[in-house]
């Protein structure tokens, strides 16, 4: 690093002092905190993004959002060249940068890291795409990010404006693949692949497309984008509520609220009972469906990420079996389909998926783990119960599919196989290949429901969720809980797992695990059993146990 670069960094960093008494940690969702203390963090993540871009020789994304959290919070995270979350190898560097006490220490950390990683300045420079959600603090934090990026000589930032998190990831991925990546290109891809799926629905099966869908947009960026898409999309009748014009972001609205509270969000009333509704979170990377129950005090039937996954898996399996019929003759590609869940997936969903003959893999909580695992398959479908997920297609499989389409299209034969291939290709374009995306997920759900001719009720009846309960326990040191087997077993402190097993065995269909949260200073307890009372009981007795073993605050 030359002296000119070093003095540029020193001068610029001095304008973003670290707030007193806070410790930042790059968790499952990047850095997150009250927006008022985040300027230095976002500035430093700007530097990090520029370095990452030089290292990878590719465009990197920097997103300013705190997703479903309170409107006064904000956060920042990095998208890697393929649009995925930043490599975990760089997380410790992110942590030390964010916590460097002054500009001298910051510079020293950067100099050492640049040397260790052999980051070569003076090549093609760095390019960072910036995005932010609708939070009012986003604008000033964006300035901090720009300053961080421009403190690296030759680095440039491109402001994508107010976008959903998945849009920014998509733009990074598309640009690095040499494709067009403006917002309009994203919309065009969603709209045309949705259209393609709807046009491929066998005649006579189109039933439910006139039934209205209502989308709760959490008063966030997803609502703004849906209103734009609504102007150009055909074949779907939907209304956007909580679009951000009046209400407060994530306040009694949105996917996180609906999934946790299991009641209708603000803006929904008795007139909506029985209607198919969807809910996005604040940065539109989570999606759940619900329908309000009659005479029930706003209670809902929740159709969560597990059921979205099940719907996608069924549809894809159906298309693959059409192709496999033909493969018996052609002896060609055997696509490896797999689904990825976490321990929070409802046990009934895992049983259902296995019974349908699907390969199910569990990973620890956090999208980066699920995404990585899903990428091992030709078609890997992953979802967290909270509604974050997507479908990944391997490039080998897509190349094979393209070839199939050309072959079948030119001979005019095998129209069922041609349609199945075209459907799978359309799904690969509709669904975001970079990260879970509520908008693309929503259009895929809608296309599949139309294809199946299913109502939300029929979809919800795929299986019945086991009653479950989640609790949080504040302990002295949550890192004392060490887990194994995708967080389903505690290996330390010793003895606690045996005690959990004894309690769990008392309840029919009992299942229970504890793990330290990656985003809050708590240990989470999850329990499920055949009745709600039993699930509640099991959760509270394991919470007590956790408290006994780990001591409360």
List, by residue number, the catalytic residues: 67
Could you tell me which residues are annotated as the binding site for substrate?
384-386, 515-519, 524
Binding segment for ligand GN1 (CB under 6 A), chosen from 44-52, 243-251, 422-430, 519-527, is 519-527
386 binds, among Mg ion, ligand GN1, none (CB under 5 to 8 A by kind): ligand GN1
Binding mask 63-102 vs Mg ion (x if CB under 5 A, - otherwise)?
----x-----------------------------------
From candidates 517, 536, 540, 547, binder to ligand GN1 by CB under 6 A: 517
Question: In angstroms, rounded to a whole number, what is the distance separating the alpha carbons of residues 277 and 474?
Answer: 35
Specify the residue, 386 or 417, whose C-beta has the smaller distance to ligand GN1. 386
β-bridge partners, 279: 216, 288
- Residue ranges of alpha helices (H) inside 390-531 are 395-411, 415-430, 438-452, 456-460, 496-504
Element (H, E) at 475: none
Count of positions (residues) in the chain: 553
435 binds, among ligand GN1, Mg ion, none (CB under 5 to 8 A by kind): none
DSSP three-state, residue 250: coil
DSSP three-state, residue 241: strand
Question: In angstroms, rounded to a whole number, what is the distance separating the alpha carbons of residues 296 and 289?
Answer: 18
Among positions 23-82, residues that touch ligand GN1 (CB under 6 A) are: 28-29
* The residue to which tokens 């490039």 are assigned: 395
From candidates 80, 84, 127, 281, binder to Mg ion by CB under 5 A: 281
Q: Closest distance between ligand GN1 and the C-beta of residue 306, in Å? A: 12
Are 374 and 382 contacting, i.e. CB atoms less than 8 angstroms apart? yes
Are 422 and 198 contacting, i.e. CB atoms less than 8 angstroms apart? no
Specify the residue, 141 or 367, whose C-beta has the smaller distance to ligand GN1. 367
Cβ burial of 395 (10 Å; 0-12, 13-18, 19+) is: exposed
Q: Closest distance between Mg ion and the C-beta of residue 282, in Å? A: 6
Binding segment for ligand GN1 (CB under 6 A), chosen from 13-21, 175-183, 359-367, 432-440, is 359-367
Among positions 235-274, residues that touch ligand GN1 (CB under 6 A) are: none
393 binds, among Mg ion, ligand GN1, none (CB under 5 to 8 A by kind): none
Are 518 and 27 contacting, i.e. CB atoms less than 8 angstroms apart? yes
By beta carbon distance, the residue nearest ligand GN1 is 518
Q: Beta strands 300-303 and 359-363: pairing type? A: unpaired
Binding mask 91-110 vs ligand GN1 (x if CB under 6 A, - otherwise)?
--------------------
Element (H, E) at 403: helix 395-411
Binding segment for ligand GN1 (CB under 6 A), chosen from 134-142, 328-336, 499-507, 518-526, is 518-526
Binding mask 288-327 vs ligand GN1 (x if CB under 6 A, - otherwise)?
----------------------------------------
Specify the residue, 367 or 448, whose C-beta has the smaller distance to Mg ion. 367
Question: In angstroms, rounded to a whole number, what is the distance separating the alpha carbons of residues 22 and 136?
Answer: 22
DSSP three-state, residue 33: strand
Are 465 and 530 contacting, i.e. CB atoms less than 8 angstroms apart? no
- Residue ranges of alpha helices (H) inside 89-220 are 91-99, 103-116, 138-150, 165-176, 183-199
- Residue ranges of alpha helices (H) inside 57-102 are 91-99
- Tokens matching residue 214: 């209502």
Specify the residue, 147 or 386, whose C-beta has the smaller distance to ligand GN1. 386
Binding segment for ligand GN1 (CB under 6 A), chosen from 208-216, 444-452, 461-469, 513-521, is 513-521
Q: Beta strands 238-241 and 213-216: pairing type? A: parallel
Q: Closest distance between ligand GN1 and the C-beta of residue 342, in Å? A: 7
DSSP 8-state secondary structure symbol assigned to residue 58? S
Element (H, E) at 537: helix 532-550
- Does position 386 bind ligand GN1 by CB under 6 A? yes
- Does position 285 bind Mg ion by CB under 5 A? yes
Q: For residue 127, what are the CA distances in angstroms to 51, 52, 119, 150, 161? A: 10, 10, 15, 10, 16
Among positions 38-67, residues that touch Mg ion (CB under 5 A) are: 67
From candidates 39, 80, 84, 283, binder to Mg ion by CB under 5 A: 283
Binding segment for ligand GN1 (CB under 6 A), chosen from 106-114, 209-217, 362-370, 423-431, is 362-370
283 binds, among Mg ion, ligand GN1, none (CB under 5 to 8 A by kind): Mg ion
Among positions 184-203, residues that touch ligand GN1 (CB under 6 A) are: none
Using CB under 5 A, list all residues that contact Mg ion. Answer: 67, 281, 283, 285
Using CB under 6 A, list all residues that contact ligand GN1. Answer: 28-29, 344, 365-367, 384, 386, 517-520, 524
């Amino acid at each position: 690093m030359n002296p000119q670069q070093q003095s540029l960094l020193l001068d610029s960093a001095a304008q973003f002092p670290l707030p007193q008494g806070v410790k930042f940690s790059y968790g499952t969702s990047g850095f997150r905190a009250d927006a008022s203390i985040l300027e230095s963090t976002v500035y430093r993540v700007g530097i990090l993004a520029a370095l990452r871009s030089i290292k990878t020789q590719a465009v990197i994304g920097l997103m300013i959002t705190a997703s479903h959290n309170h409107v006064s919070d904000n956060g920042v995270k990095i998208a890697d060249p393929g649009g995925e979350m930043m490599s975990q190898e760089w997380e410790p560097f992110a942590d030390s940068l964010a916590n460097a006490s002054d500009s001298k220490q910051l510079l020293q950390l950067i100099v050492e890291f640049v040397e260790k990683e052999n980051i070569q300045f003076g090549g093609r420079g760095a390019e960072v795409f910036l995005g932010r959600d609708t939070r009012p603090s986003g604008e000033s934090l964006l300035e901090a990010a720009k300053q961080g990026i421009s403190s690296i000589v030759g680095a440039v930032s491109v402001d994508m404006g107010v976008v959903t998190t998945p849009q920014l990831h998509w733009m990074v991925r598309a640009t690095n693949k040499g494709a067009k990546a403006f917002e309009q290109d994203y919309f065009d891809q969603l709209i045309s692949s949705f259209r393609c799926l709807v046009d491929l629905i066998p005649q006579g099966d189109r039933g439910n497309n006139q039934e209205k869908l209502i989308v709760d947009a959490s008063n966030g960026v997803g609502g703004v984008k849906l209103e734009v898409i609504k102007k150009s999309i055909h074949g779907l009748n939907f209304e956007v509520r909580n679009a951000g014009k009046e209400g407060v972001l994530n306040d009694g609205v949105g996917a996180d609220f609906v999934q946790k509270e299991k009641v209708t969000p603000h803006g929904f009333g008795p007139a909506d009972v029985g209607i198919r509704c969807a809910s996005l979170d604040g940065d539109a990377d989570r999606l759940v469906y619900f329908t309000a129950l009659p005479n029930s005090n706003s209670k809902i039937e929740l159709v969560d990420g597990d059921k979205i996954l099940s719907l996608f898996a069924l549809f894809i399996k159906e298309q693959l079996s059409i192709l496999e019929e033909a493969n018996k003759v052609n002896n060609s590609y055997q696509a490896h389909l797999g689904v990825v869940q976490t321990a929070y997936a409802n046990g009934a969903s895992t049983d259902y998926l296995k019974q349908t003959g699907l390969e199910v893999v569990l990973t620890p909580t956090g999208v980066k783990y699920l995404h990585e695992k899903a990428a091992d398959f030709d078609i890997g479908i992953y979802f967290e119960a909270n509604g974050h997920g997507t479908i990944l297609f391997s490039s080998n499989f897509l190349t094979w599919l393209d070839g199939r389409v050309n072959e079948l299209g030119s001979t005019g034969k095998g129209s069922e196989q041609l349609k199945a291939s075209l459907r799978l290709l359309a799904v690969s374009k509709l669904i975001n290949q970079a990260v879970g995306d509520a908008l693309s997920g929503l259009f895929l759900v809608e296309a599949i429901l139309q294809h199946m001719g299913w109502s939300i009720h029929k979809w919800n009846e795929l299986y019945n969720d086991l009653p479950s309960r989640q609790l949080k326990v504040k302990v002295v040191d949550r890192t004392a809980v060490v887990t194994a087997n995708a967080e389903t077993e505690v290996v330390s402190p010793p003895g606690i797992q045996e005690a959990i097993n004894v309690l769990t065995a008392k309840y029919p269909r009992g299942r229970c695990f504890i793990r330290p949260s990656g985003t809050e200073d708590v240990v989470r307890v999850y329990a499920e059993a055949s009745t709600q009372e039993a699930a509640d009981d099991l959760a509270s007795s394991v919470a007590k146990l956790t408290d006994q073993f780990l001591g409360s605050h």
